[in-house]
Structure 1
Amino acid sequence: MVRRFLLGIIAVLFASCDSGHQFTTLSPNANVVVLGDSLTYGTGAADGEDYVSLLSADTGWKITNAGVPGNTSADGLSRLDGLLALHDDGIQKVDLLIVELGGNDFLKHVPETETMRNLNEILAQTKARNIQTVLIAIPKFSPIGAAFGNLEDHPLYERLADETNTPLVESVFSDVLAKNSLKADPIHPNADGYRIVAADLKSALSDFGFLKN
Structure 2
Amino acid sequence: MPDHSPGSAFAAVLVRDLRLHARSPGDAANPVLFLVMVTALFPLAIGASTEVLARIAPGIIWVAALLSSILSMDTVFRADFEDGTLEQLALAPSPLALLILAKLAAHWLVTALPLILVSPLLALWMHFPATAIPALMATLALGTPVLSGVGAIAAALTLGVGRGGALLALLALPLYVPVLIFGAGAADAAASGLSVSGPLQLLGAMTLFTITLAPIAVAAGLRISLD
**TM-score, normalising length: structure 2:** 0.32
- Specify which structure has the bigger relative contact order, considering alpha-carbon pairs within 8 angstroms and separated by 6 or more residues: 2
**TM-score, normalising length: structure 1:** 0.34
The structure carrying a bigger strand percent of its residues is 1
